[in-house]
A and B are shown apart, each in its own frame.
Chain A
Amino acid sequence: MGKFAQEFAKGLIITNPVLVLLLGLCPALAVSTSIDNALGMTLAVLIVLLGSNIIIAAMRNFVPSITRIPIFIVIIATLVTVVNLLFHAYLPDLHETLGIYLPLVVVNCIVLGRAEAFASKNPVVRSIADALGMTVGFMLALLMISLIRQMLGTGEMSVFGVHFFSLPVLSSRPVAIFILPPGGFLVIGLLLGLFKWTGVLKR
C-alpha cells in the first residue's frame, strides 16, 4: 500500500502536471474562469486518464512498441468520445460551456504523457494511483487558478449555483480582466513565479 500512496502523492506537488511539468496548460487556462468549469474539466480528465491508464497498463505486454503511440491515441480518443457523449446527455450546460475544450482533452499532454511515461511500463494498480494523483494535482492547480480568477473577476464566491459570499468592493466593481483570456496568463504566470520564489515547487 505504501507504493500506491507514493505514486498517488507524487502527482500532487512534486510532479504536479500543470504547475511543475507545465502540461495541460490549454485546458487549465481556458476553463479556469470559474470553479464550476474547473471541476467539470477535472471530472472529464479523471474519467479519461483513469480509463486510459487502466487499459494501457493492462495491455502493456501485448502492445508492440513500434505502434504504441497510435494505439494509445485511439484508446484515449475513444474515452474522450464517451465522456463527450455522457456530458452531452447528462450535463448539457457544462458540455456547452466547456465547448471545444472537452473534445480537446484528447490532445491534453497529461493524458498521453502519463500513458507513455507511466502506464505503458507499470502494473494496473500503480497506474491507477498515478492517474488519481495526477488528476488531483490537476484539480488543485485548476482550483487555485479558478478561485483567484473567479474571486477577482466576479467578486462572488459560488459553486454550482450555491452562493457562499460576495467580496465587498469587488462584487459591485469586478476586475473583469481576470475572467478574460489575458487574466489567465497573468494569474498562472504570477503563481509560477511565486512558487519558484518561495521554493515550494522545485523545478
Chain B
Amino acid sequence: MDGGAQEMNELIVIFLSMALINNFILVRYLGLCPFLGVSKELGPAVSMGIAVTFVMIIASLATWLINHYILIPFDIQYMYIIVFILVIASLVQVIELFIKKTNIALYSAFGIYLPLITTNCAVLGVTIINMMGSYTLLESLVAALGGGLGFTLVLAIMAGIREKLELADTPRAMKGAPIALITATLLGLAFFGFVGIV
C-alpha cells in the first residue's frame, strides 16, 4: 500500500470513529443540553446539528493554527483551555454577525442556535480531542466533520423518535426527559454495533 492510500485510510478511520463509534452524544456524552433541548422536532434538530458541525470545523481550523503557531512556539500549551474557549466564543459571535449580514434566510434558520453553541461541550470537546490526539490539520478537520455529522445524525434520529413518542402512551412520570434518556440508552446500544467496523 502506498503512502497516499494509507493516509486516506487513516482519515476514514478517524471519520468513522468520530461519527459512529465514539459518537459525541451517545458515547462521549458531549452536547447533551442541545440533545435534550432541541431534539423534539426534526427541522430544528437538523438545523442545530448543521450549525454545530459548521462551528466545529471552523473552531478546529482556528484552534489548530493557534495551537501550532502560538501556543507551541511560545511553550504555553497549558493555556489551552482559556485560549480555546475564548476563540470559540468569539468565533461564534463573528459567524453570527457574518450570517446576519450576508444571508438572512440562513440566519433565521439557525441563527438562534448559534449563541447556545458557545457553551456546547461538543465544540470545545472536539478541539481538545484534536489537540490531545496530536492530529494534523487535515485530520483535525476530518475529525470535526465526522464528529459534527455524527452529532447531527443522532440528533435527527432522536427527533424522529421523539415526534412519535409525543403521541405514545408514556407513563406520566416518564414523560419528557426520562423517556428521552431511555431512548438514548437504546440508541446507544444500537450504536455499539459499529464498534467492529474499523
Contact = CB atoms under 8 A, between A and B. Distances in A.
Interface of A: 22, 25-26, 29-30, 70, 73-74, 77-78, 80-81, 84-85, 100, 103-104, 106-109, 112, 177, 180-186, 188-190, 192-194, 196-197
Contacts, number: 114
Report, nearest first, the 6 A-B pairs whose CB atoms are least far apart: A189-B181, A182-B188, A197-B173, A193-B178, A77-B82, A186-B185
B124 A106 contact: yes
Most A CB atoms within 10 A — which of B85, B128, B180, B181? Answer: B181
A100 B29 contact: no
Contacts of A73: 85-86, 89
B179 interface: yes
Interface string B174-198: 1001111110111011001000000
A35 B184 CA distance: 23
Nearest to B22: A181
Interface string B112-143: 00000001110011001100100000000000
Secondary structure at the A interface, as helix, strand, loop or mixed, is helix
A180 B124 CA distance: 23
Given A104-B128, A107-B85, A185 B121 contact: no
B177 A26 contact: no
B32 to A, nearest CB: 4
A181 B132 contact: no
Secondary structure at the B interface, as helix, strand, loop or mixed, is helix
A22 B36 CA distance: 9
A107 B120 contact: yes
A182 B89 contact: no
A162 B169 CA distance: 46
Contact of A30 (B28, B171, B184, B185): B28
Contacts of B181: 185-186, 188-189, 192
B173 A106 contact: no
24 contacts: A25-B32, A25-B33, A30-B28, A70-B86, A73-B89, A77-B82, A78-B82, A80-B81, A81-B81, A84-B81, A104-B128, A106-B81, A107-B119, A108-B121, A181-B26, A181-B27, A182-B189, A182-B192, A183-B185, A185-B188, A186-B181, A193-B182, A196-B173, A197-B174
